Amino acid sequence: MKLLYKILKQDPTTRQGVVMTTSAVGIIVNVLLASIKVAIGVLANSIAVISEGINNATDSLSSVITMVGAKLSNKRPTKKHPFGYGRIEYITSLVIAGLIIATAVELLKSSIKLIIEPEDLTVNTLTLIIIAASALVKLWLAWFTIKKGRQVNSGILVAMGTDSRNDCIVSAVTIVSALIFIIFHLSVDAYAGIITSLFIFKAGFDILKDTLANLLGQPVEKETADELYKIIRSTPGVLNAADMILHNYGPDRYSGSVNIEMDHQMTVEQLYATIHKLQLDIMHQKGITMVFGIYAVDRDHSEIKQMRHQIAQYVRGKEHIISYHALYLEPQTNLIYVDLVVDYDLKDWDGLRTDFTEYMHNLYPDNKIELTIETEYV
């Protein structure tokens, strides 16, 4: 109890504070439900109610796992793990997803066994009342936990809330099956259990799929990328920005890189001042460590202006090209550098390279073309 008290006293404005206090609420609610159900079940000699209580006691395990995962993920970086331990949250979500899937499998097995070896269904009014009351409490807990999880982008809280919601579904199916038996004297308990187990399995699989996607690496939210591009492009001296890459080391923990176009006449001192200010602004506003690559651009050069117009015409005529950037003419070698950004539906990169190179050679036969084809990472 002292540990829970310390947890509940954490700063609720911090991400870890939200995760820890929400998990503590889950433990308290499930332990109270388990204690009440087991006590009533023993007094009423009801195995069903005692089983419900034991189920609530095991549900508190998800909250404990969440708290442990949140605590470990917030450890400071070490020499062995210089990017921190944020991805432990994803591993924790995998464990909870596994528990949900295991619950679905056990429910499916018991339901199939009940079809093969039917048993007489015993319905007790007290049991139904307790199950219904418990379902309402768990429904509130599911709503509360999922809401908090989405507020702080915590997959483990969402997974824990989903687990609570699954318990409500099981309870609802149990009540409906019992009412059908009372009214129509028809036992559909086993078949309802099969349907419920499939629903729970899907919920667990969805959590598993989302968590694996985070571990494998997926694009950052568009809103975050747009906000970063806005900060960068609004900085005096920056002409354009592209090729942003953000690496995820846990929820809301990113480091990354981006290429920026700068006026070719800027001095090294001016470049440093601009980039250093940008790094600090992004760190303070978004908590993201950003590294910058630099493209030197001469937008006033008449030949460059013409090239931009001609490349823009080419890009508009191609279905899978999103944009272009990094256009640079090296005066000593007559080498033209340019990057094309394509979507993931383009399969023939070599064909595009050949087509674009021929297009540019027809316009500029004395120049060599250095083309980079790339996709967007955000």
CA distance readout (Å), 358 to 92, 120, 325, 338, 351: 53, 80, 19, 14, 11
Is 84 a residue whose pLDDT tops 70?
yes
Spatial distance between the Cα atoms of 4 and 287, rounded to a whole number of angstroms: 30
> For residues 318 and 350, is the Cβ–Cβ distance under 8 A?
no
* DSSP letter string, 167-214: HHHHHHHHHHHHHHHHHH----HHHHHHHHHHHHHHHHHHHHHHHHHH
Is 117 a residue whose pLDDT tops 70?
yes
pLDDT at 135: 87
Mean pLDDT of the chain: 84
Which residues are bridge partners to 337 per DSSP?
Answer: 328, 370
pLDDT at 53: 65
pTM for the model: 0.72
Tens of pLDDT, residues 330-368: 888 889 999 999 999 999 999 999 999 999 999 999 899
DSSP 218: -
Is 44 a residue whose pLDDT tops 80?
no
Tens of pLDDT, residues 258-291: 999 988 888 999 999 999 999 999 999 888 989 9
**Residue holding tokens 């404990």?**
64
pLDDT at 142: 92
Mean pLDDT for the stretch of residues 225-249: 89
State the pLDDT confidence band at 370, using cuts at 50, 70 and 90.
very high
Which of 11-25, 159-173, 314-328 tops mean pLDDT?
314-328
Question: Which range, of 26-40, 112-126, 203-217, 326-340, averages the lowest pLDDT?
Answer: 112-126
pLDDT at 76: 85
> For residues 252 and 153, is the Cβ–Cβ distance under 8 A?
yes
